[in-house]
Structure 1
Amino acid sequence: MASSSIPERNYDIFLSFRGTDVRNNFLGHLYRALDQRGIYTYIDSEELRKGEQIAPALMKAIEKSHIAIIIFSEDYASSWWCLEEVAKIMDCKKERDFVVFPLFYKVDPREVRTPKERYRKAMVKHQSRFGKDAVKRWAKALSDAGKLSGWHLKDE
């Protein structure tokens, strides 16, 4: 008998990304490469159904994935939604056997771990809108994800 506490996993990989930074270039290439190898990958433009509520659908997709690839780009932290995703991803990593691969796309991994420039400015801006508790949670998730071994792509 299956345990109800173990989520059903439908996706091999969940891709977390800031659309305006990578959707029309790097992301398309990565998604096609994974798809060509038969890897079932969740990407919102392909999997999110019209009329579906975005927040619950994305959180459920993270829960139903085996692996998350977080594509940290220059403006990733400017999106409160990306920050919610990374927080959920890191929660899943703590709660179960969930693999997380960070990909640092044109951003230094140190900027993700300990924000000093763009990420710091974004967090300060978010604090006035969402409060200290939310920003503290997001900063912890960024720091934890930034400490994971991943790939650093500068201009490739």
Structure 2
Amino acid sequence: MRKHSSPPSPSFPTSSSSSSSSSSSFFTQSWTYDVFLSYRGEDTRKTFIDHLYTALDRQGIHTFIDDELPRGEEISPALLNAIEESKISVIVFSENYASSSWCLDELVKILEYKKSKQQLVMPIFYKVDPSDVRNQRSSFGDALVDHEHKFKDDMEKVLEWRRALTEAANLSGLHFKEGGT
């Protein structure tokens, strides 16, 4: 996994109404990483993610990118720690994101930490329509149907993934369309 060796960047833009206790705890919290990147490797690792990571690194933004952790049935403790210890999670939704139960489990954890640790979450819709993510249509719908068959004895997990996709797609983010920005 690549980790930026410089100290984390000292500040991120804040909203003008940062007087609430939840936002002050965000800024007093000790974070290991500035950014955690959640993405589907087969879609974006050698293209978008490499460029995004390089751009963040050049700006001195301490970024966790999972490019060496072994794959398994469940998210590893190291990955869970990286998610929890990141100030911001960037979720890069791409065509095959929802086909990975690993990515969907990451998404659920990211949204849990958004609530419990006031972590900031920013979705990026890379060559996918945000409404397809929100409503589980196209490749997202197909993937969830496949998961329903695979996890027929654990439908609560699939429902949790569906809720997480809808919640994340309702957040403000960036949309990169095919052949443009």
| TM-score w.r.t. length of structure 2 | 0.77
Equivalent of 1:134, from 146, 157, 162?
157
CA contact (8 A) 2:75 2:102 kept: no
Letter in 1 for 2:66: D
Q: Measure, in 1, the Cα distance between the counterparts of 2:125 and 2:44.
A: 12
Identify unmatched segments of 5+ residues in structure 1: 1-5
Displacement of 1:62 after TM fit? 0.2
Asked if residue 12 in structure 1 is aligned to residue 31 in structure 2, the reply is no
Q: Deviations over 1:25-61 (max 9, x none)?
A: 1111000000000000000126x49xxx962111110
Point out the more displaced range, 6-15 or 101-110. 6-15
Q: Measure, in 2, the Cα distance between the counterparts of 1:12 and 1:119.
A: 28
Aligned-CA RMSD value:
1.9
| TM-score w.r.t. length of structure 1 | 0.88
Could you tell me which residue of structure 2 aligns to residue 145 of structure 1? 168
Displacement of 1:9 after TM fit? 2.1
Equivalent of 1:75, from 96, 106, 130?
96
Could you tell me which residue of structure 2 aligns to residue 120 of structure 1? 141
CA contact (8 A) 2:75 2:106 kept: no
Could you tell me which residue of structure 2 aligns to residue 45 of structure 1? 67
Could you tell me which residue of structure 1 aligns to residue 118 of structure 2? 97
CA contact (8 A) 1:17 1:70 kept: yes
Displacement of 1:119 after TM fit? 0.6
Query: Secondary structure at 1:102's aligned position in 2?
Result: strand
Letter in 2 for 1:132: M
Q: Measure, in 2, the Cα distance between the counterparts of 1:123 and 1:39.
A: 34
Q: Measure, in 1, the Cα distance between the counterparts of 2:137 and 2:176.
A: 19
The list of structure 1 runs, each at least 4 consecutive aligned residues, that deviate by more than 4 angstroms after superposition, is none
Q: Measure, in 1, the Cα distance between the counterparts of 2:133 and 2:45.
A: 20
Q: Measure, in 1, the Cα distance between the counterparts of 2:41 and 2:48.
A: 10
Identify unmatched segments of 5+ residues in structure 2: 1-27
Displacement of 1:102 after TM fit? 0.3
What is the aligned-residue identity percentage? Answer: 49
Could you tell me which residue of structure 2 aligns to residue 3 of structure 1? none
Q: Measure, in 2, the Cα distance between the counterparts of 1:37 and 1:137.
A: 35
How many residues in Structure 1 have an aligned counterpart in Structure 2?
A: 147
Q: Measure, in 2, the Cα distance between the counterparts of 1:34 and 1:99.
A: 16
